[in-house]
Structure 1
Amino acid sequence: MKLRTLVKKCLAASVAFVAINASAFSEGVDFVKLETPIPNSDGLVTKVYSYDCPFCYKYDKAVTKAVMQKLPEMKFEPMHLATKGKFGKQASELFAVLIAKDNASGTSLLDDKSLFKNAKFAYYKAYHDKREMGWRC
């Protein structure tokens, strides 16, 4: 039990450290530039994630918004992995609809009023914090 607490504290400290130091991005250190660019991806930051991933949850809580604030000229595009998690396909479909609704209303996907953001964190919390939705050890 103590080891688990220690690991959680170390992980939280690491995430906080990354969030604090997110202001200085260097190619080859903090990110890589693809040799073959993804079509239609200019000015786009794509975050691939799954509600099933504990690291994605911690990263989303502490880092994603901070990173995007440092890149105001870039557009944020989340991409949920339909193949991960018991409800991965359903979550991907729901997130796609909510992203479309947020885009139609002009709401940023990182805004606290975003339908997408609220649903994503509801999935994360149900799965990781409350251990619902078929959580596994």
Structure 2
Amino acid sequence: MKKVLLMTVAILMMPFAAMAANYQEGVHYTTINKGPATAKPEVSEFFSFYCPHCYSFAKSVVPKLESKLPEGVKFTQKHVEFIGREMGVEMSRAFAVAHQLNVDKKIEMALFSAIHDKKQRFTNRDDIRKLFIANGVEGKDFDAAASSFMVNAQMSSMKRDTENAKLSGVPALVVNGKYRLETSSIKSYDELVDLAVYLTTLK
């Protein structure tokens, strides 16, 4: 019985062993800090609403990634400020507001579509506010959230995490707060997802 159990465990571990053999630190992923990983496994996507590749990534890769993450692995998103000049900051605020109001996915797709499909220009916070209202959010709720402590704290956290990740562009994935995927060495979106899943097993 014990022998059968050991064989079963070995078989279950084979896919991870195969992935470990295929993925190399410094080639497929980079360790961005020498400290401990996050207490619980997580995959963080860094993106910008102004990035067309991020829009494609949100539609085709993120759903696949979320569906393949093992139970107990958290998926988070962090908007970067370094694209879009001053509006990059306002878009980070918009993302944080959407998160606080629990309309993340709806507003995310609405903003992506407005910028890339409809070619709409956003020049100030009021332009963003109008989009929220058009998507069912009360203006007073947007106003309250936009200046709230929670939104400002989330923006500070996203900015700090962006700096720690040492990003050269987006979309980008960081796993367990420690491993940044190197997309230039990855041949397909399926491989990207597999690598992210593998890295969640590392400490």
Task: Identify the TM-score tier after normalising by the shorter chain.
Answer: 0.5 to 0.7
2:77 matched residue in structure 1: 78
Q: Aligned with 2:40: secondary structure?
A: coil
Say if 2:44 is the partner of 1:46. Answer: yes
Post-superposition Cα deviations, 1:6-35, rounded to whole Å, max 9, x if no partner, equal: xxxxxxxxxxxxxxxxxx993527x63626
2:58 matched residue in structure 1: 60
Contact 1:68 1:74 in 2 (8 A): no
User: TM-score with structure 2 length normalisation?
Assistant: 0.42
2:100 matched residue in structure 1: 100
Shift of 1:133: 1.4
Give 1:83's aligned amino acid.
Answer: F
Say if 2:29 is the partner of 1:32. Answer: yes
Say if 2:125 is the partner of 1:127. Answer: no
Name the % identity. 26
Q: CA RMSD in A?
A: 2.8
Post-superposition Cα deviations, 1:29-87, rounded to whole Å, max 9, x if no partner, equal: 7x636263576363111000001111110010011011111113211110101121252
1:88 matched residue in structure 2: 88
Give 2:55's aligned amino acid.
Answer: Y
Equivalent positions of 1:7-18 (< 5 A) are none
Contact 1:98 1:116 in 2 (8 A): yes
Give structure 1 regions of 4+ aligned residues with deviation exceeding 3 angstroms. 24-27, 37-42
Structure 2 runs not aligned, ≥5 long? 1-15, 123-203
User: Which structure shows the higher helix fraction?
Assistant: 2
Matches of 1:133 and 1:61 in 2, distance apart?
A: 21
Distance 1:36 1:42, change over 3 A: farther
Structure 1 runs not aligned, ≥5 long? 1-23, 103-114
Q: Aligned with 1:94: secondary structure?
A: helix
> Could you say which structure has the larger radius of gyration?
2
Matches of 1:88 and 1:126 in 2, distance apart?
A: 15
1:11 matched residue in structure 2: none
Shift of 1:99: 1.6
Matches of 1:85 and 1:44 in 2, distance apart?
A: 27
1:117 matched residue in structure 2: 105
User: TM-score with structure 1 length normalisation?
Assistant: 0.60
